[in-house]
Amino acid sequence: METERLTPKKYAMNVLNGLAIGTVVALIPGALLGELFKALLPVFPQGEFVLNATSMSNSMLGLVVGVLVGINFKFTPIQSTSLGLAAVLGGGAVQFTAEGMTLNGTGDVINVGLTAAIAAGLILVLGNRLKAYTILLIPPISLIVGGGAGLFILPYVKSITTLIGHLTAQLLNFQPIVMSVLIAIIFSILIVSPITTVGIALAISLVGIGSGAGNLGVCAAGFGLAVAGWRVNPIGTSLAHFIGSPKVSMSNVFAKPKIMLPIICNAACLGALAAIFNIQGTPMSAGFGFSGLVGPVNHLNIAGWSVGNIIVTILVFLVAPIVFGVGFNHLFTKIWPIISPEDYKLELA
């Protein structure tokens, strides 16, 4: 376990990297397969197994994040898995009832990260002091103290998340184009933060054009980051930004916020298109963007599957974010060189 030269910045990056990658790993099965198997369910009832499996994957987000955070800290397997147990408990996905316990959703993503940070600090303090008793004491101490601390702060963190959601909802009082531009920009930023865009959208019941704008903001981040990092990242890593989640670049954004300039501009343009073309959506689609085709499919379910709507959907959800991504990336790297392609390079295990 590496404890030397562990600065506060390195500590935060270890947690954020684990949170970013863990979110993608846990949510990508549902994002890729969820809408497809829901549509196939009437003719392929066996698909219920896939939906159940992806639902379970969503609820294991805390466990996955905790283990990955432990790996980032170079913890031992015992310490990393103990950290995972603490994170899944503190995240709130596990609901306790008189009959036992159930898994409900992903939990609060912000609290998953905070719980992981608390438990990691606890493990660092204990270090190797427990020696032969590590396997006996680290799991219960991490779970009860770290996970318990996470459960204690969970209601307060949820309140903050809800407050952010209500502030976002106030944008709906503006004119459609202004509102859509602002919501798209906010969601393009939230999707690369520890805050769950799905949770925000669900908390404020973001529907209609507001949902469409948020959805396109997520698309702007996904395609924009993929385009910007195409030359310096592996193909799979670049594709993961829009097939999976832009959160894979979360630690990079925290370290170098300027790399969001092309993304914000991209989101502003897409937000305007949401109002102009009346792009609709649901609270769930507002948080997933293009991933798993959740956004496009939900818009077409609302607007109708006509040839015209399909063409508009392809242009707005796929063509426009790529074109704007290329254009604004060229602007900020060549014409006004504020950023460079290397700023988007990710070091992922």
Place of tokens 């969820």: 34
Residues 145 and 179 in one domain: no
Residue 3 has pLDDT above 60, yes or no: no
Last residue of a domain, one of 157, 187, 204: 157
Residues 104 and 180 in one domain: no
Residues 118 and 46 in one domain: yes
Least confident range from 7-21, 118-132, 279-293, 300-314: namely 279-293
Q: Given this model, what pLDDT does residue 116 score?
A: 96
Q: Which residue has the higher pLDDT, 286 or 317?
A: 317
- Whether 162 is in a domain gets the answer no
Please give the Cα distance from 55 to 26 (Å, whole number): 10
Q: Count CB-CB contacts under 10 A for residue 13.
A: 17
Q: Which residue has the higher pLDDT, 121 or 174?
A: 121
Phi, psi of 100 (to 5 degrees): 145, -130
Type of residue found at 241: H
Q: Which residues pair with 95 in a beta bridge?
A: 102
H-only helix segments in 170-207: 176-190, 197-203
142: nearest Cα among 156, 123, 168: 123
Q: What's the whole-model pTM score? A: 0.74
What is the pLDDT confidence band of residue 349, given thresholds at 50, 70 and 90?
low
- Whether 169 is in a domain gets the answer no
- Whether 215 is in a domain gets the answer yes
- Whether 309 is in a domain gets the answer yes
Q: Which domain holds residue 277?
A: 174-344
Return the C-alpha torsion angle 227, 233, 234, 236, nearest 10. -50
Residues 187 and 145 in one domain: no
| Count: domains in the chain | 2
Residues 151 and 182 in one domain: no
Q: Given this model, what pLDDT does residue 183 score?
A: 92
Q: Which residue has the higher pLDDT, 158 or 311?
A: 311
66: nearest Cα among 6, 4, 139, 128: 139
Q: Given this model, what pLDDT does residue 217 score?
A: 95
What is the pLDDT confidence band of residue 205, given thresholds at 50, 70 and 90?
low
What is the pLDDT confidence band of residue 100, given thresholds at 50, 70 and 90?
confident
Rounded average pLDDT over 172-184: 84
Q: Which residue has the higher pLDDT, 120 or 290?
A: 120
Residues 140 and 205 in one domain: no
Place of tokens 């916020």: 257
Q: Which long-range contacts (CB under 8 A, 24 or more apart) does 295-304 make?
A: 295/215, 295/216, 295/218, 295/219, 297/35, 297/39, 298/35, 298/215, 299/212, 299/215, 303/278
The tokens describing 47, both together, are 């698909």
| C-alpha angle 59-62-65 in degrees, rounded to nearest 5 | 130
